[in-house]
Amino acid sequence: MADKTTPTAPSLAPARIAQIFIRARDLERAIAFYRDVLGFKFLFQAPPQMAFFDCSGVRLLLGVPEKAEFDHPSSIIYFEIADIQGVFQTLKKCGVPFQAEPHVVHRGEGFELWLAEFQDSEDNTLALMSTIAK
C-alpha cells in the first residue's frame, strides 16, 4: 500500500517582517508626519512615490498607490511603547487625532494590555500598545 502522507510545505517560520507598506496620498505630508510627529528615523526617499523609515529594524514604506486597488487604508499597525500615557499626551499636543484615550483591553495574570488608536496624516489607523506589569 502506498504511503499517503502529505508532503511538508515550506514554512514562513521563523521569518521576520522586513517591511510594511503604508498608503500615502500626499507623500510629503506623510513624510513630515512620520518623521516630525511620530519621530521615526527617515532612511531615504525613492522619488516620486516612496519614502522609507526605520521602526526598530522593520522598514516602513510610505507609498503613493500605483493602482486603484491599492488605494485603501493600511492594516492597523500597533507600536509597542513603554509609556503609553506620556506618548499619548505628546502626540495629542501635536494635534494627532485619537479615537480614544489609552485604555485597558485585556487583563492577564500579572499584566494589563493598553491601547490607544489614532489616525495618521493619510487617514490610516495606527495604535499605541503597552503591556504594563501589575
Residue 25 backbone zone (phi > 0: left; psi -120 to 50: alpha; other: beta): alpha
Residue 64 lies in a domain: yes
Q: What is the mean pLDDT of each run of 10 residues along the chain (134 residues)?
A: 64 89 97 98 96 97 93 94 96 96 97 98 97 94
Predicted confidence at residue 6, as pLDDT, reads: 63
Predicted confidence at residue 7, as pLDDT, reads: 64
Predicted confidence at residue 4, as pLDDT, reads: 62
* Domain CATH code at residue 99: 3.10.180.10
Residue 111 lies in a domain: yes
Sign of CA dihedral 25, 27, 30, 34: positive
Predicted confidence at residue 50, as pLDDT, reads: 98
The whole model's pTM is what? 0.86
| CA separation for the pair 12, 99 (Å, rounded) | 34
Into how many domains does the chain fold? 1
Question: Which phi and psi (to 5°) does residue 122 adopt?
Answer: -110, 15
Predicted confidence at residue 11, as pLDDT, reads: 80
| CA separation for the pair 62, 28 (Å, rounded) | 10
Predicted confidence at residue 117, as pLDDT, reads: 98
Residue 59 lies in a domain: yes
